[in-house]
Amino acid sequence: MLFSIIIITLNEQDNIEFTIKSARNAVKVKNNSLPVEIIVCDGGSKDSTVEIAKQLADKTIISEKGRYIQLNSGAKVATGDILVFLHADTFLPEGAILRIFRKMKDPCIIGGGFKKKWKWSEDVKLTSFMKSIFYIWSGFGNWIVRLLKTFPGDNVIFVRKSVYEKIGGYSPLWLCEDFDMSLRLKRYARKRRCNSLKQRSKYIYLRSAVQTSTRRFEKYGFFKTFFNWFFIYWIWRLGRGSNKLKIKFGNYPNFPEKGEKKLITS
C-alpha cells in the first residue's frame, strides 16, 4: 500500500521544510518506514518554497494558483493507493500514516480525516480569557467534526485513490472545496456496499491529532477569523455557491500570510 502525501504551497518557505520532515516521520514504523511519496504542488511562490521542496520532496510541480486546482494537480501525478492531502502549515504527528494504514486494511473504509490541535507561534501570548475561549472552541470544534465527519482541509483528508477518481476529485470551488469533498465522500459511503456481507462503506474520524498553524488568528484576531469561517461555511452549506462566496469574500486569503500579533486579545 503506497501513500501519496500531497502538500499544496504558496510562499511557504517558513513552513515547508518542517512540513515535509514531519510527513517523513509520520511513516516510520520502528526501524522501517511505510512506502510513501511526497508531492509538493506549488501555486506560483515568489520566495524559496519551490527550491526547498525540490531538495526534500519526491516530486515538485507547479500549477495554477488555487487550492482545488493544486490538490487535483498533485493527485494527478500521484501513484499511491491512498492520497493524503496536507496543507503546508499543518504537521503530521509521528505514526500518523501508520494509523491510516491500519484503518485502511479494512476494505470498507474509504477515507477520513484527523482530529486537530492548534500550534501557536512561540512568541505569541494569549490573555487568560482567550485561553479559555480557545480551549472551549477547540473542544467543541473537534466534537462537531467528529459528529458530522465534515473535515476542513487542515484536518488532513485522506482517501483511496480509486474512490477519489470515482467521485471526480475536488470540485472547482474557490472556497469550501474541503467541506464539499467530505460531503461527497460521506454520500458515496452511504450508497456503497463493500463486501459480500453488504456492509456499508465508512468515512472515519481519527482521534490522534494533527497540528495546524494559528497564523490566521495571529494575523486577524480570533473573532474576525471565527466569524469569517462561520459565514463562509453557512453560505456554502445553504447552497449559495462559489461565485457568491467570491463576491462576498473576494479578499479572503486562501493561503494566509504569517501573523504579526504578539498578544491575542480578540
pLDDT tens by residue, 57-80: 999 999 999 899 999 999 999 999
Residue 195 DSSP SS3: coil
Q: Is the Cβ–Cβ distance between 247 and 152 less than 8 Å?
A: no
Rounded Cα distance, 185 and 183, in Å: 5
3-state secondary structure of 173: coil
Of the chain, the percentage scoring pLDDT greater than 70 comes to: 88
Give the residue-averaged pLDDT of 107-114. Answer: 93
Using CA atoms, how far apart are residues 3 and 97, in angstroms rounded to an integer?
A: 8
Which domains, ranges and CATH numbers included, belong to the chain? 3-264 (3.90.550.10)
pLDDT by residue (tens digit) across 173-226? Answer: 888 899 999 999 999 998 888 876 677 889 999 998 999 988 888 888 888 888
pLDDT digits (tens, 9 = 90+) for 122-143: 877 888 888 888 889 889 989 9
- Whole-angstrom CA distances from 9 to 22, 55, 109, 141, 255 are 16, 15, 28, 25, 8
- Give helix 67-77 / helix 177-191 axis angle, nearest 10°: 50
Overall pTM > 0.85: yes
Q: What pLDDT is recorded for position 30?
A: 66
Residue 255 CA to chain centroid, in angstroms?
12
pLDDT of 238 higher than 80: no
CB 84 within 8 A of CB 149: no
Round to whole Å and give the CA distance between 138 and 136. 6
pLDDT of residue 93: 87
Q: Which three cell numbers stand for residue 53?
A: 521542496
